[in-house]
Structure 1
Amino acid sequence: MLLKKLQLKTVDYKLVLTMCFLLFFNSIISAQEIIKDTVVKKPVQIPSGQKLKVDGIIANVGDYIVLDSDIDKGYLEITAQGGSVKDITRCQMLGKLLEDKLYAHQAIQDSIIVSDAEVRSMMDDRLNYMVQQVGDINKVVAYYKKNSVEEFKTYFSDILKEQKLAQEMTKKIVDAVEITPEEVRNFFKKIPKEELPTFGAEMEVAQIVVEPKVSAEDKQKVKDRLNAIRKDVLEGSSFATKAVLYSQDPGSAPNGGYYKMTRKTPFVKEFKDVAFSLAEGEISEPFETSFGFHIIMVEKIKGQEVELRHILIAPTVSEDALKEAKERIANIRAKIVSKEISFADAARTESDEKETRANGGTLVNPNTQDTRFELTKMDPTLYSQVSNLKDDEVSQPLLNTDDKGKKTYKLITVTNRIDEHVADYAKDYTKIKELALKEKQITTISKWFDTKIKDTYIKIIGEYRDCNFVYNWLKK
């Protein structure tokens, strides 16, 4: 039965609450806020037969508190996201809240640090997303019943910090869990034959990518344009305005090219190297990354954090360059089809894609980190490109445009097909290992809770003491 729980059919509600509620719930639960006792006047959508409570503190976990209204906010948020709350009890909601509070409390005890810079970065990302959804930050403020943007930001920063602490604590626990081949074997052996999972049809795919060559002349045109913009800014023009008008970075152009970053921010190395080499107010010379050419202006340096603005302009790929790339990849295809060279060898010697070139063009599934793609979960674009290919057939040259507008040509082939089948230890070791690891992680987390609950000040008030929790929050 355990495997089925891990698969999909009858998942233990503890796992559901731990893994799923986080998506809806953590972003709205108050970390430290104490609200004076008031009667909730406007009912939220909660399970039938349950009544709203007079607000107040209902639980303590270390230095953290839980309010009765936090549970109602949880129902409201899930409903707003289109989810169903009819099978979620207030006790289950409270249990999930207590878990999050204990994670955050223990993170502090373990000296896990969440910097103000990280919180501000999370705040910027969340606010940008919220504003995109509703169109006006004042609507976001009203939704959370705050009186001003600043009051909302103060409130929300506490939430985000607690959420980040909980995430880091969870990661610390889970990352420490390792599993041996012997444990994987024993996990598989204990699954009754009639309960072995069925894995859907899969395929392995390889590709060869050819990038159109950008001429030195076209690169120089971009550098000249950026130098002209730089000169204008040095003479008094607004960098932010120039970024809005000319930058091709969709993530920052609407905000005047603004980014806030630390050394840990996942930007390409060349960008970070330049950003952290500049003084406040300094503007870089044009420099190149895989995205194009940039100039950066540093606005503020706060310890390890840099606030900057940048402008990105990518060289235009000429029609001649595209034509040349298409001819090149067509010639590669002709050699493969005529058996002059294998697809794998052609990928190693001809492909411009560094990530796949060394392993013969084989794609790695970003969700599972192995080479198999389950058809029902495959990216729709990739599926449309490979679904009609026969065994060993090589696609015609495909023009591909990524989300940044970069154009390439590629060839695709299916290197292996795996029909739907009952789990086989040898064939499906990677998937079985993943299931075994999940089981061990769940067991480890459960043991962690049992231990930490005993060592932490926890108090549950009123009728919630009658809840039948998964963990021993009442220390009975």
Structure 2
Amino acid sequence: MTINKIQMRSINNKIALTFFLLLFTSIIASAQEIIKDSVITPAKKVQSTGKQKIDGVIATVGDYIILDSDIDKSFVEITRDGGSVKDVTRCQMLGKLLEDKLYAHQAIQDSIVVTDAEIKGMMEERLSFLIEKIGSMENVVKFYKKDSEEEFRTYFSDILKEGKLASEMQKKIIDGVEITPEEVRNFFKTIAVDELPFFGAEMEVAQIVITPKVSDAEKKKVIDKLNEFKKEAEEGSSFSTKAVLYSQDPGSSSNGGYYQMNRRTPFVKEFKDVAFSLAEGEISAPFETDFGFHIIYVEKIKGQEIELRHILLTPGVSEESLIEAREKISIIKKKIEDKEITFAEAARTQSDEKETRANGGALINPQTQDTRFELTKMDPTLYAQISNLKEGEITAPLMEDVQGKKKYKLITVTNRINEHTADYGKDYIKIKDLALEKKRITAIGKWFDEKIKETYIKIIGEYRDCNFTNNWLKK
């Protein structure tokens, strides 16, 4: 199969793979009504281009229904969040909604569990985003045409649960799909020479980080403040309010420090160790991680899930410590330039960043999990720092300040890869990703073929004339 055909199948055969994240992240405001077999809800009249249009059920998938207005809401959601619907037809959008419903329906059949704690965490995170975008909770309620915050939360909870069920079902399908080197090689051989993908210019980058030392006095100041918060909370003061006002964690402060987690949640070990040592209603003593000092309040324990709130405070760094760190990194730079030590050796022996230290300072691309960074997709800040560097050249010491945590960096370009046509040896990881994507698409397509046959599905009205990729009409 050629690359072009793979790409077309990826787009046409599975809008889910491209639209799914966009629509799920945007949270499609679709009806989440659950029905019994062929029960139809009463139709309602809606205004559309000056004419009366009946808004009724247009499709049923298992226990879920889709209203005609759900398609309109989906378009509104995408455009409101900055997406383009220029080339998306109503039939394609219905196809996407049908896929989501089938995923969710089958997730329930397969006993996939979505906990209330998960939904609550998602609710708070999503509401923060919506309030920031729309202006206030009142505006959010109005936007979704609900009469009260309570009604909106109930409605939104159903949407989030269906979306989570759908994503977990899709994840279950593709998680078991693996690919061997032989399959990657055979995949590459099937691509015609004139259809080989073209990869843009890339860089491999390494860094050395020196973190200014925090004085014991500054640490004590932060610990004392956290102990004060703990005492006041235990006496009845709101922990959540204190997190909003004082926590320096950008990921949770606006939500009152709220997180829900289990043993597999990717939090640092020190944080998880403390969280899982606490009883429900207990507040921890201040403890330290790489991010600063924390206290944790456990709100609820539900089996293996914990709902908690925390406050993070980062100790300040003295001007003296900053000067000392800058002098240290400047000396390291001079030693590298004088050939007394290589950049990689200096990173392994002197860098304070343990995540990159063992690999000689090499940065890992968070999108691809390899060491290459495509210039057009690189973080703008990193790009500005290294775009003009020659291979092997080192930046001047750079001071970085993220949420009050200051550190100095040296960055070097260890390898430049010019734009080029795909090469099996040089681009194995990218080719493997393409081959794996094709295999996953095939697995999803097979899953849809099987589940459509065994699931009650009904499409009515003009939408029966749609040319769906999947066999929704069971012809």
Q: Scaled by the length of structure 2, what TM-score is found? A: 0.91
Query: Does residue 421 of structure 1 match 2:427?
Result: no
C-alpha separation in 2, matches of 1:302 and 1:219: 34
C-alpha separation in 1, matches of 2:327 and 2:102: 61
For 1:54, what is the secondary structure of its paired residue? strand
C-alpha separation in 1, matches of 2:342 and 2:221: 40
- State the Cα distance separating 1:253 from its structure 2 match: 3.5
C-alpha separation in 1, matches of 2:443 and 2:307: 40
Read off the aligned partner of 2:112 and give its amino acid letter: I
C-alpha separation in 1, matches of 2:61 and 2:178: 29
Residue matched to 2:109: 109
Residue matched to 1:31: 32
1:114-157 C-alpha deviation (Å, 9 max, x unpaired): 11111111111111110111111122112222111111111111
Read off the aligned partner of 1:407 and give its amino acid letter: K
C-alpha separation in 2, matches of 1:316 and 1:202: 37
- State the Cα distance separating 1:255 from its structure 2 match: 4.5
For 1:91, what is the secondary structure of its paired residue? helix
Given that 1:27 and 1:160 are in contact with CA atoms closer than 8 Å, whether structure 2 keeps it comes out as no
Alignment of 1:182-201 (within 5 A): 182-201=182-201
C-alpha separation in 2, matches of 1:466 and 1:326: 69
Residue matched to 2:62: 62
Structure 2 portions without partners, runs of 5+: 36-40
Alignment of 1:31-430 (within 5 A): 31-32=32-33, 36-41=42-47, 53-235=53-235, 237-402=237-402, 404-430=403-429
C-alpha separation in 2, matches of 1:258 and 1:81: 25
Given that 1:53 and 1:68 are in contact with CA atoms closer than 8 Å, whether structure 2 keeps it comes out as no
Rate the CA distance shift 1:397–1:82 in 2: closer, same or farther, 3 A.
closer
C-alpha separation in 2, matches of 1:21 and 1:31: 17
- State the Cα distance separating 1:104 from its structure 2 match: 1.1
For 1:150, what is the secondary structure of its paired residue? helix
Farther-moved stretch of structure 1 (63-72 vs 245-254): 245-254
Percent of aligned positions that are identical:
68
Read off the aligned partner of 1:210 and give its amino acid letter: I
Aligned residues between the structures: 468
Residue matched to 1:457: 456
Rate the CA distance shift 1:407–1:75 in 2: closer, same or farther, 3 A.
same
Given that 1:18 and 1:96 are in contact with CA atoms closer than 8 Å, whether structure 2 keeps it comes out as no
C-alpha separation in 1, matches of 2:266 and 2:237: 30
1:53-106 C-alpha deviation (Å, 9 max, x unpaired): 411122221111111221121222233234443432222111111111111111
Read off the aligned partner of 1:197 and give its amino acid letter: P
Given that 2:200 and 2:375 are in contact with CA atoms closer than 8 Å, whether structure 1 keeps it comes out as yes
Read off the aligned partner of 2:453 and give its amino acid letter: K
Rate the CA distance shift 1:155–1:6 in 2: closer, same or farther, 3 A.
same
Residue matched to 1:48: none
Rate the CA distance shift 1:246–1:449 in 2: closer, same or farther, 3 A.
closer
C-alpha separation in 1, matches of 2:52 and 2:198: 44
C-alpha separation in 2, matches of 1:469 and 1:91: 7
Farther-moved stretch of structure 1 (62-71 vs 216-225): 216-225
Rate the CA distance shift 1:262–1:135 in 2: closer, same or farther, 3 A.
farther
Given that 1:4 and 1:11 are in contact with CA atoms closer than 8 Å, whether structure 2 keeps it comes out as no
Residue matched to 2:38: none
Read off the aligned partner of 1:30 and give its amino acid letter: A
Residue matched to 1:3: 3
For 1:101, what is the secondary structure of its paired residue? helix
Given that 1:294 and 1:312 are in contact with CA atoms closer than 8 Å, whether structure 2 keeps it comes out as yes
Read off the aligned partner of 1:190 and give its amino acid letter: T
Rate the CA distance shift 1:230–1:164 in 2: closer, same or farther, 3 A.
closer
Read off the aligned partner of 2:469 and give its amino acid letter: V
Q: Scaled by the length of structure 1, what TM-score is found? A: 0.91
- State the Cα distance separating 1:448 from its structure 2 match: 1.1
Read off the aligned partner of 1:368 and give its amino acid letter: T
Query: Does residue 12 of structure 1 match 2:18?
Result: no
Farther-moved stretch of structure 1 (241-250 vs 415-424): 241-250
For 1:121, what is the secondary structure of its paired residue? helix
C-alpha separation in 2, matches of 1:269 and 1:156: 33
- State the Cα distance separating 1:473 from its structure 2 match: 1.2
- State the Cα distance separating 1:345 from its structure 2 match: 1.1
C-alpha separation in 2, matches of 1:22 and 1:28: 15
C-alpha separation in 2, matches of 1:307 and 1:176: 30
Read off the aligned partner of 1:202 and give its amino acid letter: E
Farther-moved stretch of structure 1 (327-336 vs 290-299): 290-299
C-alpha separation in 2, matches of 1:157 and 1:368: 32
Residue matched to 1:47: none
Rate the CA distance shift 1:324–1:84 in 2: closer, same or farther, 3 A.
closer
1:299-355 C-alpha deviation (Å, 9 max, x unpaired): 444554444443222111111111111111111111111111111111111111111
C-alpha separation in 2, matches of 1:274 and 1:263: 12
Rate the CA distance shift 1:181–1:264 in 2: closer, same or farther, 3 A.
closer
C-alpha separation in 2, matches of 1:430 and 1:253: 38
C-alpha separation in 2, matches of 1:69 and 1:172: 30
For 1:95, what is the secondary structure of its paired residue? helix
- State the Cα distance separating 1:235 from its structure 2 match: 4.7
- State the Cα distance separating 1:23 from its structure 2 match: 1.2
C-alpha separation in 2, matches of 1:465 and 1:238: 56
C-alpha separation in 2, matches of 1:196 and 1:38: 52
For 1:41, what is the secondary structure of its paired residue? strand
C-alpha separation in 1, matches of 2:191 and 2:198: 13
Rate the CA distance shift 1:84–1:202 in 2: closer, same or farther, 3 A.
closer
